[in-house]
Amino acid sequence: MVDAVARRFEGVPIKAVIGGFHLTGLPPFSGIAGSRQEVREIAAALLAYPVDTVYTGHCTGAKAFGVLKSVMGERIADLRTGTRLEI
Domain limits, the chain: 2-8+16-78
The model's pTM: 0.87
Confidence of residue 31 (pLDDT cuts 50, 70, 90): confident
Strands (DSSP E) contained in the chain are 14-19, 24-25, 31-32, 51-56, 76-78
Report the chain's mean pLDDT, rounded to a whole number: 91
Taking the C-alpha atoms of residue 36 and residue 41, their distance in angstroms, rounded to an integer, is 9
Taking the C-alpha atoms of residue 23 and residue 2, their distance in angstroms, rounded to an integer, is 17
DSSP code of residue 26:
S
Whether the per-residue pLDDT at 38 is higher than 80: the answer is yes
Please compute the mean of the pLDDT values over residues 67-80 and round it to a whole number: 95
More confident residue, 23 or 72: 72
